[in-house]
Amino acid sequence: MVSAPADGHIVLPCAWQDLRHKFSKYGTVLEARVVRDNYSGSSRGFGFVSMSTDAEVDDAIAGLNGREWDGRRILVERAKRT
């Protein structure tokens, strides 16, 4: 999962293509999805990226977590399963 801290958001407008491009530097992106508000269509500030291997996921987390994306620091972590 990729998200911004509580006081920020993924840079708007952020599309799934932006996530795919950013994460593809670390491996094969199988799916990228930006979560949007049902009514406004605006990004809710987080998204999900699926990659082909756990090693690629670890590389993406190491390479992107805490980094700035268009002036905002992002949080990249494994999605928590419920």
Domains of the chain: 2-76 (3.30.70.330)
- The DSSP string of the chain is -EE--TT--SPSS--HHHHHHHHGGGS-EEEEEEEE-TTT--EEEEEEEEESSHHHHHHHHHHHTT-EETTEE-EE-PPPP-
Kindly tell me if the per-residue pLDDT of 77 is higher than 50.
yes
pTM: 0.79
Q: What is the pLDDT of residue 81?
A: 72
Q: What is the pLDDT of residue 46?
A: 83
- Could you give the angle at which helices 16-23 and 54-64 cross, rounded to 10 degrees? 100
